[in-house]
Structure 1
Amino acid sequence: MCGIIGCAGRNEDTLDVLLSGLEGLEYRGYDSAGVALSNGSVEICKREGTIERLQAAVDRSLGGTDAVGIGHTRWSTHGPPSDENSHPHTDCTGEVAVVHNGIIENYSALKEELQESGHEFTSDTDSEVVPHLVEDALSEGVSPEEAFRRAVSRVEGSYALAAVLADSEAVLATRNDSPLVLGVGEEAAYLASDVPAFLEYTDRVVYLEDGEFARLESGSWSVSDADGEVVDKSISRVEWDAEETAKSGYDHYMLKEIHEQPRALRKCLRGRVDERTGSVDVEALVGLSPSSVQFVACGTSYHAALYGAQLLREEGIHAHAFLASEYATAPAPVDDGTLVVGITQSGETADTLSALREAHRQNVETLAVTNVVGSTVSRECDRTLFIRAGPEIGVAASKTFSSQAIAANLLALALSGRASRNQELIGALRDLPSQVQAILDDSRAEEVASKYVDSPAYFFIGRNEHGPVALEGALKLKEISYKHAEGFAAGELKHGPLALVTEETPVFAMVTGDGEAATKTIGNVKEVEARDAPVVAVTDGVSDVGRYAEDVLRVPETHPRLAPVLANVQLQLVSYFVAKELGRSIDKPRNLAKSVTVE
């Protein structure tokens, strides 16, 4: 959540870099934005609302030449959106400006102490205590960097912090449980909470670890530990390019990313599955043979975890999925053979990281399933399985869910040791990208969305592997259309939720194949049909569910384990077109953030 950008060394371009960087961080979710530049004095402009409002308000000469600067997009936690609560925040003198992601847990005590000593506060935020702490330290005659370190030493909680000071030509920064990455350019050094903020300037990055401090000056950078000792950091290259983070002619990032799924799935599978030999070769999974598997995840990733746990159980492996926020405070029992798998698109999800750290405290092996190379989860887990989906800018996950589902299939095949006996599934994995493309080419989702756009509520039902996709379909519709939607295991509909079904409640039913699960789900479809509810069947046409449906969204026939991935594409499109017709902010839905870095 929130976004940080910093720059040192671009001279007259610094303001443009900051504003461009904030635009590159819009996808994370925000309700206000601001910048601070230092060049002998600190100058600030910040506004509630969009970055466009900030751009309209800012003086283009802000900071002048040779300035260093920081910028921020805020997602409110302490205090409502307002100009006063926007970042950057300053001290009493206006000579220290700070931006902050995370939550300062002891801010109330610090604020009370500072107020008693004469400091005046102008916002409701927890973040404002930091510049005042820096001011206090500066009054003792220490250097700007030492003052920043002293202030940070008094703070408890999660944070990514960046500061500029009137008496310093540097951007100072540090992190704890909140992401921060440096960008190493030819003429400048950059700082951001995520790579897209500076990707147009450099693809060379340095990832900060918790407790490390960074100093950015004109064209140079350094990293040190909490004791001030220099840390030798390696420079990595980001495989993404700036074009991948553009809309490329699509109306929204979400639609673009839905259409990128065939390519994302091919990348996830490339070099990992050999249909000729019937083998799965994933380096991160070599040698794994757990007695049980516990998945921890949040939101869409939790639905992928539910799907993955179902696959493992079908392979005879004891597996269960937990909400990471619950696991962190009430972990499940483990033994020496337990593997804890954390699924997180960004690799920075605070709840998931906390759950994995709890697993580490219990001395069990951990595996990260993530999209972002160099993310915190990839550095902290024992093993990492990258889903290779490429950058996802839309807040609502789309292509990353599909890639997580395929990664779960790879995990199930690898752990079962039965890939060679599962040629049908391996062949279906090969065909999956082209089948997704066929749906994208021929879907009736826009027509169906238009038909039901005025419905007050929507239900999604499915059995077995379709159950998690029912939850995901409902979540996607809620996220971007703001419509009420619920997902259920199909058999549960009659145990209470059926009371809410009316002729105005479309029920999306996922039915593929003609086995027992399909037969029983059709029985549930008949139950809602008898209540005059319109049914939208998402089906491969093998069963006769279409007879009982008002509308049909077709998917190609495939292996039962992969049918939910195809069904999910249709549901993504329905959600997108409902939201588009309602005029919603599809890529940046209200109150939501792409990377949830607070617990």
Structure 2
Amino acid sequence: MCGIVGGVAERSITNILIEGLKRLEYRGYDSAGLALINAGQVLRQRRVGKVVNLEQAVNEADLMGSLGIAHTRWATHGKPTEDNAHPHISGPVAVVHNGIIENYQELKDDLEALGYVFTSQTDTEVVAHLVHDALKSAPNLLKAVEQVVPQLKGAFALGIVHTDYPDELITVREGSPLVIGVGIGENFISSDQLALLPITNRFIYLEEGDIARLTRDSIEVFVNGQPVERPIKELDATVSNASKGEYKHYMLKEIYEQPEAIQQTISQALNGNTLRDDFLKNADVDFSQIQNVQIIACGTSYHAGMIAKYWFEQLINLPCQVEIASEFRYRTPVIVNHTLYVCISQSGETADTLAALRDTQKRAAEKNIHIATLTICNVATSSMVRETHHSLLTLAGPEIGVASTKAFTTQLAALMLLVLKIGQVKQSIAADEISSIIADLWHIPKVMLDTLQKDKEILRLSDLFKEKQHCLFLGRGTEFPIALEGALKLKEISYIHAEGYAAGELKHGPLALVDNDMPVVILAPQDDMLDKLKSNMEEVQARGGELFVFADETSGIKEKDRQHVVLVPNVNALLAPIVYSIPVQLLSYHVAVLRGTDVDQPRNLAKSVTVE
């Protein structure tokens, strides 16, 4: 479900679709397919594995067509098989889909009652059948799609073609990115402009809720059935996958890519509301013997590890320690038998973390102590991935901004998957609890999208920070590490001195800093610590502090004098750190822009810290 490419042209677009899929391979996938409309037929080929397998099959079949859609998929609902690969068809309709249809089972039941036969295990196939059914009453393909979209719950992007409309490609963006590539006598769609850069440098960036109809010579965009205008933006044709696209900075682009990045990351491990049988399969024997977890990381990755400690101990009763790699490597930590050492790094090349890993492996071997090692990383070819027993990739795609955003939240998602896997192997967590958490994980991209809609509110609050020199971030439980992360982000890119604290520690020192000029940022999800956090907020206000609160919409926390509130959508408290990362990222970003700093390349810092 990772990548979409489609187009309508005067020439055959077979090779364009294949090349587009190749340019999306960095995202990760397990199958690929395409469908072309030619002479009133849907010509489809699908293959498990790499795009080159699909390319060979298409060449052997000599498939040609001027209208078509193509896709690379990470299996979510159903295993990686040809039957589950996209595109999916229903008679004359073919569909490709990124995202999750959360209510697919109910829709499937209704469609089966109408006589539709399903040939896959996917959630996507319901879309093809729904469009087919809608065309029984709708006057055209566009109207049929407009009837279907409101029935779908979740986050998704769609490309749809039909044999009766040989010059028409319909596309939908609802929670998953899609761009339109504008050509001369031809137009294209993709989930990433990178796929289309060889053939055009002019793009339309669809917005949430957009439905577009593309022909060779026209592009029409609709919202709620009404036509809207979307500007065409021109890029340097030499831009690579590092392009900022429509965004002013890489950091902002990467903040907005987080819902999709989370979805990609969890998709590698999940099949519906269960863990895939092949997820970390080769690690089963090691996991069954694990008695302790030691997390080693630096900076933002260290904060991710701190949150995972709560999860390991609360959910599966497994002792977990977290340590900064630069400290861990220079002392003589006790190596305990049957410990899993987890290294977390965006690049997989972080010098201190890599050195700590190597030293631990060496000392364990010398003392004949049995340990297992695992890397959580965003780069499949990195040193840490190669040098640990197992690896779990965060499928965030390239992250260019020095201040980590999507790498951090995908690390959190990966860590939760790891906790669930170990708990399942050790039988220390009930199956129904695993299913419940997974269901909430699938919903996280939608909650993140809704949280991103608070951007303008956060921008207004940011104006109150631009002249400040100090800031305090407070959280409790799993939000304490997010307070640390928020403070780090503000320091990194705005150069405002900021500290993150556990809110319960206020009376043990930080209250001395609170005055009329000190902004205090509060992270307030709906959890067991909320009432205690409210008491901490009162302590700050009693000392004249000005509060900036990111609060759950059900928390009861309201605006009042010197208390600014941005309401965050309700979310499972366990997963709240993933969602609450977004407001602190946006706050830091906007403050930095207002202060005129170099957001993407802050002074003195580098993206990958490969030296000590």
Q: Does 1:286 pair with 2:276?
A: no
Measure the CA separation in 1 of the matches of 2:599 and 2:430.
39
2:346 aligns with 345
1:381 aligns with 388
Q: Does 1:429 pair with 2:441?
A: yes
2:423 aligns with 416
2:495 aligns with 482
1:94 aligns with none
Q: Does 1:332 pair with 2:333?
A: yes
Secondary structure of the 1:475 match is helix
Deviations along 1:38-57, whole A, 9 cap, x unmatched?
A: xxxxxxxxxxxxxxxxxxxx
CA contact (8 A) 1:278 1:419 kept: no
Q: Does 1:305 pair with 2:305?
A: yes
The Cα of 1:388 is off from its aligned counterpart by 0.8
**CA separation of 1:280/1:562 partners in 2, compared to 1, >3 Å: closer, same or farther?**
farther
Measure the CA separation in 2 of the matches of 1:370 and 1:445.
30
CA contact (8 A) 2:273 2:439 kept: no
Secondary structure of the 1:325 match is helix
1:255 aligns with 252
The residue type equivalent to 1:384 in the other structure is S
2:543 aligns with 531
Secondary structure of the 1:510 match is strand
Measure the CA separation in 2 of the matches of 1:521 and 1:557.
17
CA contact (8 A) 1:458 1:507 kept: yes
The Cα of 1:281 is off from its aligned counterpart by 5.5
**CA separation of 1:474/1:261 partners in 2, compared to 1, >3 Å: closer, same or farther?**
same
Q: Does 1:370 pair with 2:377?
A: yes
1:272 aligns with 269
Indicate the larger mover: 343-352 or 269-278.
269-278
Secondary structure of the 2:508 match is coil
CA contact (8 A) 1:280 1:413 kept: no
The Cα of 1:309 is off from its aligned counterpart by 1.3
Q: Does 1:468 pair with 2:481?
A: yes
1:209 aligns with none
**CA separation of 1:242/1:432 partners in 2, compared to 1, >3 Å: closer, same or farther?**
farther
The Cα of 1:542 is off from its aligned counterpart by 2.3
Could you state the TM-score of these two structures normalised by the residue count of structure 2? 0.57
The Cα of 1:372 is off from its aligned counterpart by 0.4
Could you state the TM-score of these two structures normalised by the residue count of structure 1? 0.58
Measure the CA separation in 1 of the matches of 2:277 and 2:242.
31
Measure the CA separation in 2 of the matches of 1:329 and 1:278.
38
The Cα of 1:419 is off from its aligned counterpart by 6.2
* Equivalences for residues 584-599 of structure 1 within 5 A: 584-599=597-612
**CA separation of 1:260/1:419 partners in 2, compared to 1, >3 Å: closer, same or farther?**
farther
**CA separation of 1:279/1:381 partners in 2, compared to 1, >3 Å: closer, same or farther?**
closer
**CA separation of 1:300/1:419 partners in 2, compared to 1, >3 Å: closer, same or farther?**
farther
Deviations along 1:288-318, whole A, 9 cap, x unmatched?
A: 1310000000000000011111110112100
2:452 aligns with 440
Choose the corresponding residue for 1:555, options 558, 561, 568. 568
Secondary structure of the 1:308 match is helix
* Equivalences for residues 98-113 of structure 1 within 5 A: none
The Cα of 1:504 is off from its aligned counterpart by 1.1
**CA separation of 1:343/1:357 partners in 2, compared to 1, >3 Å: closer, same or farther?**
same
Secondary structure of the 2:474 match is strand
Q: Does 1:399 pair with 2:395?
A: no
Indicate the larger mover: 486-495 or 285-294.
285-294
* Equivalences for residues 16-27 of structure 1 within 5 A: none
Measure the CA separation in 2 of the matches of 1:259 and 1:435.
13
Task: State the percentage of identical aligned residues.
Answer: 40
Question: How many residues are matched?
Answer: 360
Secondary structure of the 2:550 match is strand
The residue type equivalent to 2:404 in the other structure is A
The Cα of 1:271 is off from its aligned counterpart by 3.5
Secondary structure of the 1:245 match is coil
Q: Does 1:491 pair with 2:489?
A: no
Measure the CA separation in 1 of the matches of 2:259 and 2:430.
23
Q: Does 1:510 pair with 2:523?
A: yes
**CA separation of 1:404/1:276 partners in 2, compared to 1, >3 Å: closer, same or farther?**
closer
CA contact (8 A) 2:274 2:438 kept: no
The Cα of 1:456 is off from its aligned counterpart by 2.0
Measure the CA separation in 2 of the matches of 1:496 and 1:374.
45
Secondary structure of the 2:439 match is helix
The Cα of 1:277 is off from its aligned counterpart by 4.1
The Cα of 1:421 is off from its aligned counterpart by 2.5
CA contact (8 A) 1:350 1:597 kept: yes
Measure the CA separation in 2 of the matches of 1:558 and 1:547.
21
Secondary structure of the 2:464 match is helix
Measure the CA separation in 2 of the matches of 1:271 and 1:354.
29
* Equivalences for residues 79-158 of structure 1 within 5 A: none
2:84 aligns with none
Secondary structure of the 2:566 match is strand
The Cα of 1:514 is off from its aligned counterpart by 4.8
CA contact (8 A) 1:359 1:366 kept: no
The Cα of 1:396 is off from its aligned counterpart by 0.6
**CA separation of 1:247/1:547 partners in 2, compared to 1, >3 Å: closer, same or farther?**
closer
2:156 aligns with none
Secondary structure of the 2:604 match is coil
CA contact (8 A) 1:295 1:343 kept: yes
**Larger relative contact order (CA 8 Å, sep ≥ 6):** 1
The Cα of 1:442 is off from its aligned counterpart by 3.0
The residue type equivalent to 2:389 in the other structure is D
Measure the CA separation in 1 of the matches of 2:360 and 2:309.
18
Measure the CA separation in 2 of the matches of 1:431 and 1:591.
38
The Cα of 1:565 is off from its aligned counterpart by 1.2
Measure the CA separation in 1 of the matches of 2:356 and 2:469.
36
The Cα of 1:339 is off from its aligned counterpart by 0.7
Deviations along 1:450-490, whole A, 9 cap, x unmatched?
A: 12222221111111111110000000000000001000111
Give structure 2 stretches of 5+ with no counterpart: 1-196, 199-237, 366-370
